[in-house]
Amino acid sequence: MRPENYENVKLVPILDAAYALWCKLENLKKQATKRCAQINKEKERLQNERERALNPDTFVSADDDSKGNKERYLFKTIMCPLGDKCPKLKKHRWPNSSIKTVTKFGANCPYAHQMNELRFPEEYDSKIAVAKN
């Protein structure tokens, strides 16, 4: 292959387009590598969470880990039968109370208080399978 002739005015637009295409491919490759790393990290997190769910003796709740209390891991598969009358439901959060705004409403209740809190054991298996593919 002959070396590029930058003096030839007709080849300059072709060389510029080839360089732009090469730069775009390099950026896509970097983004793909970064996304693969994120997916692998998420897959490992899901596998660890699944292991904790299958082995309830090793799970320490986020609320009580300062005390060292261990509790059984429970999938919130059922809506709370008491609803808003549940004593473990903390609806009033910051600034009305000292509870952080990122805390879920019924974090200490074994039942779900919102639809997005419902979880099932099969959810982890399906998310891990998607991450593998």
pTM check: above 0.75? no
Confidence bin at 34 (pLDDT 50/70/90): very high
Helix, strand, or coil (residue 79): strand
**Predicted local distance difference test score (pLDDT) of residue 64:** 44
Tokens of 94: 């910051």
Could you give the 3-state DSSP secondary structure of residue 60?
A: strand
Query: Each residue of 47-85: pLDDT tens digit?
Result: 887 777 666 554 444 444 444 334 445 567 788 888 778
Is a pLDDT exceeding 90 seen at residue 33? yes
φ/ψ (deg, to 5) at 34: -65, -40
Residue the block writes with tokens 């292991």: 51
- Comparing 62 with 35, the larger pLDDT belongs to 35
Enclosing H/E stretch for 16:
helix 12-54
Instruction: Give the count of beta carbons closer than 10 Å to the beta carbon of residue 110.
Output: 14
Tens-place pLDDT, residues 112-131: 877 777 777 777 778 788 88
85-96 pLDDT, tens per residue?
888 877 777 777
Q: How would residue 25 be classed by pLDDT, with cut points 50, 70 and 90?
A: very high
